[in-house]
Structure 1
Amino acid sequence: MSERDAVRQISDEDERLAVLERYDVLDTPPEEAFDRITRLTRQIFDVSISTVTLIDGHRQWFKSRQGVDVAETDLSQSLCHIAVVKGEPLIVEDALAHRTIQNHPAVIDGLKLRFYAGMPLRTPDGHVIGTLCAADTSPRAFSQRDQGILADLAQFVVSELELRTLAMTDALTGALSRRAFREEAARAIALARRHATELSVLMVDLDHFKLVNDTYGHQFGDRLLVEVVSTLRSNARQSDIIGRLGGEEFGLVLHQSSASAALEVAEKLRSAIAHLRIDHVDGAVGATISVGVAGLDRTTQDIDTLLERADAALYAAKSDGRNRCIRWETPATPIPGDVRRRVLKGGRIAFNGGRSTMDCTVRSLSDSGAGIDFISTADVPDRFKLLIMADDVSRACRVRVRGDRRIEVDFG
């Protein structure tokens, strides 16, 4: 590949990730509209696996999945990634007879796939952000007619993504959708600035929710989420804004509340959830939450900055043992360029003198630091070099806050 082609490829990938970011769909809860499509895909083609797969900088993440237990894998495990890179359908009738992928990890390990058909999810502006795939552990034929049907189903996925941008509420809990929450929060910030009033944001995460789902089942997990939102709503003011930002993550905007007052509200919410009990055949089940708090101040430029600060405080609360509330503290001397902007950029970290690397996705960025996502942060060292190819950035990093899948770093 020539240097010019390599630069063009990096630029195209950066544009692709920017389009994916505009959909604001990564790490959102399951939605019936997408699950219906993957169920139909399994039934039509009589396969054991179907997913709506989205590809960011370091992983394949399943917006919907049938026949797959995990919600995401790294890119080395992804046949869908191949289809996205090529920008065309990937049809493999028998993986062991397919010279280019017969030794792929998804074939020889993991799901041990023998059949795979991945149809690109091409957006109206021409970018491929993922695939709709049908797969099985046994080989099978896949005709041109089959490919046409899968292409139509893939177009339904893209149409649903377009429609999803108009959705205002989360179907399960009744809280605002993530996009609607961000829009309402942005309006609230504008009003607070115009009228010189205080405002704060809470980021709330349900502790050990995966364990709840694994132990009691997803139906019970859904009941728990509904009860948690109901408890949050009954302990907040009517004017406060509540949104579902992820599977078990929620945001609240508190009008006319300083950060110190918001911390008191957060403790009230934490205590209320800690006393929540839901009946189950095995006995009453309780829950706890971790909360990050951030208040609007003169250094807060927009909703992204405020959410980023609340999110950093949330990760600190989780790292500190969970079931607690932590307030983001403004540095005594503001760091120039410390205002984060929300991004979605492919990255890579290098350590051990450059001998070890890991793919990552940069989710926020400033002149002084970044928020970075991984499949797992367990093997991420405290110091490393971050490479962002699209921006020609190479920065030495030091981990400031470490969560299960995200770290906050300072540069230098």
Structure 2
Amino acid sequence: MHRRRGASGDARLEAFSTEEQSLTAERRTPACGTEGAHALGRSCEDLRLAALARYDVMDTPGEEAFDRIVRLTQKVFRTSMVTISLIDGHRQWFKARHGVGPQETARGPALCSSTIEQGSPLIVTDARRDPRFAQNPFVTGEPHIRFYAGAPLVTPDGQMLGTLCVMDQAQRAFTDDEREILVDLARIVIDELELRLLADADALTGALSRRAFRAEAQKAIDQAAHAERPLSLIVIDLDHFKRVNDTYGHDRGDAALIGSVLACAAQFAGRERIGRLGGEEFAVLLPDVGTDRALSVAERIREAIRGETYAFREGTFRVTASLGVTSAPADGACDIDMLLRSADMALYQAKAAGRNRCVVAASPIGRGAGLRRVLKRGSLVLGAGRESVPCTVRAVSAGRVRLDVLGAAELPTRFDLVMDGEDPAPCRVVTRSERGLEAAFE
């Protein structure tokens, strides 16, 4: 079903009803190109995004298992660049990388996106002479890719999450044997992704892994709603952490991460849970705690993190943190995604206000309760159609949409949203975080 311009809010919800129902059937969904996608009423890209979400790996901290695969791949092929690239609806994000600066790029020009769209290993011996890529900005500009070889990361149920790729700034040949080795290494990446689904603890800090934290948090949310008890969530982000790593070294950065988790844990002893959500981002779940008390806990955590001192060769340093606080609504109508999004909005405000502070979510979380989870590739049309910005649509309701997009803070308040070739839907931004927007349909 397609939503056309002028469609009612109810029609918009109906158009996405099959998305919500089929998300529960994704574990053994057949690969794209089979009858499975049509039976579920979903596109191949929707199924692929659902599989990527199931692995819950985007924006997670670096892990030695994946770094080791990248190091091995670089030694085997002797290329200047290697990445484990995961492809979201709007970006490619590197779980591990060698010789590549940014952690993520836009999806549009990514050769890894072309690889998964092709559905098989992509070998480009000289991108400058290949008409498909000669004008690609990653070829004509940084990182000046000339040679590329990528093997899709294919899950046991046939979905392509991204690629293991090798790149160089000089042309080169690539033999059939080398192609098979790259495919085998890509299979090892998938094996590691399968193994991390079983891990409950973050290897560096001892905090819960993001997957385990989300699972425990959802269980606690359901229990709180059933018992009509309060529940709060705090999201913590260490300020200017890249600067810490660049100035003092990654080993000292790791020490600051561990010390911050220990300082946080020392503030309570009970049913509270700490999880590591990303590189320097953590979350604390507070059962039976309302907003006022949660803010008090957040202030204690902030002071404790700021009070830790870390030694390095030339002296000592400290770190500070920004914290976003939110609480479940009284009627219990929320889930972990809503709580995290609400806390992220508050965290964004804390950073914008100067960092090293705590901010409580300004708007009631219940306002988003009607949003239904979807996973779709889309684009924001800006400036009367003069510019298009890719996005990933995460949730939709009769009147609202929630999406992830690069550079969310710089985007205008109004735009048109396009999904799956449908007519543009005029939208107005309601709230922002660093990585996403919630907007109202107009």
TM-score by length of 1: 0.91
Q: Deviation of residue 397 (structure 1)?
A: 2.5
Q: How many residues align?
A: 404
Matched, 1:397 2:427: yes
Q: Deviation of residue 251 (structure 1)?
A: 0.9
Q: Secondary structure at the match of 1:284?
A: strand
Q: Deviation of residue 139 (structure 1)?
A: 1.9
Q: Deviation of residue 22 (structure 1)?
A: 0.8
Matched, 1:320 2:350: no
The farther-off stretch of 275-284 and 238-247 is 275-284
- Mark the runs of 5 or more structure 2 residues left unpaired by the alignment: 1-32
Match among 191, 206, 213 for residue 174 of structure 1: 206
Distance in 1, Cα, partners of 2:238 & 2:125: 42
Q: Deviation of residue 247 (structure 1)?
A: 1.1
AA matched with 1:321: G
Distance in 2, Cα, partners of 1:218 & 1:370: 38
**Which residue number in structure 1 is paired with residue 296 of structure 2?**
264
Q: Deviation of residue 338 (structure 1)?
A: 4.1
- Divergent runs of 4+, >4 A: 7-10, 329-332
Matched, 1:347 2:378: yes
Q: Deviation of residue 341 (structure 1)?
A: 4.4
- Report percent identity of matched pairs: 47
AA matched with 2:187: Q
Distance in 2, Cα, partners of 1:104 & 1:373: 24
Question: Is the contact between residue 252 and residue 310 of structure 2 (CA under 8 Å) also seen in structure 1?
Answer: no
- Pick closer, same or farther for the CA change 1:28–1:342 going to 2, 3 Å: farther
Question: Is the contact between residue 345 and residue 432 of structure 2 (CA under 8 Å) also seen in structure 1?
Answer: no
- Pick closer, same or farther for the CA change 1:409–1:100 going to 2, 3 Å: same
The farther-off stretch of 193-202 and 112-121 is 193-202
**Which residue number in structure 2 is paired with residue 385 of structure 1?**
416
Q: Secondary structure at the match of 2:426?
A: strand
Distance in 2, Cα, partners of 1:42 & 1:356: 37
The within-5 A match list for 1:85-100 is 85-100=117-132
Report the RMSD for the aligned CA atoms in angstroms. Answer: 2.4
Question: Is the contact between residue 299 and residue 339 of structure 1 (CA under 8 Å) also seen in structure 2?
Answer: no
Alpha-carbon displacement from aligned partner over 1:223-277 (angstroms, at most 9, x marks no partner)? 2111111111112324210000111111111121111111110111112112222
TM-score by length of 2: 0.85
Question: Is the contact between residue 409 and residue 432 of structure 2 (CA under 8 Å) also seen in structure 1?
Answer: no
The farther-off stretch of 69-78 and 178-187 is 69-78
Q: Deviation of residue 345 (structure 1)?
A: 2.6
The farther-off stretch of 397-406 and 286-295 is 397-406
Question: Is the contact between residue 61 and residue 278 of structure 2 (CA under 8 Å) also seen in structure 1?
Answer: yes
**Which residue number in structure 1 is paired with residue 438 of structure 2?**
408
**Which residue number in structure 1 is paired with residue 343 of structure 2?**
310
Question: Is the contact between residue 319 and residue 402 of structure 1 (CA under 8 Å) also seen in structure 2?
Answer: no
The farther-off stretch of 160-169 and 343-352 is 343-352
The farther-off stretch of 59-68 and 73-82 is 73-82
**Which residue number in structure 2 is paired with residue 241 of structure 1?**
273
The within-5 A match list for 1:155-166 is 155-166=187-198
The within-5 A match list for 1:5-404 is 11-297=43-329, 298-331=331-364, 335=367, 338-377=369-408, 379-389=410-420, 392=422, 394-404=424-434
Q: Deviation of residue 206 (structure 1)?
A: 1.3
Q: Deviation of residue 394 (structure 1)?
A: 4.2
Question: Is the contact between residue 10 and residue 389 of structure 1 (CA under 8 Å) also seen in structure 2?
Answer: no
- Pick closer, same or farther for the CA change 1:289–1:364 going to 2, 3 Å: farther
Distance in 2, Cα, partners of 1:201 & 1:366: 24
Q: Deviation of residue 378 (structure 1)?
A: 5.2
Alpha-carbon displacement from aligned partner over 1:7-56 (angstroms, at most 9, x marks no partner)? 98981111111111111110001111111111110001111211100111
AA matched with 1:380: L
Distance in 1, Cα, partners of 2:440 & 2:258: 37
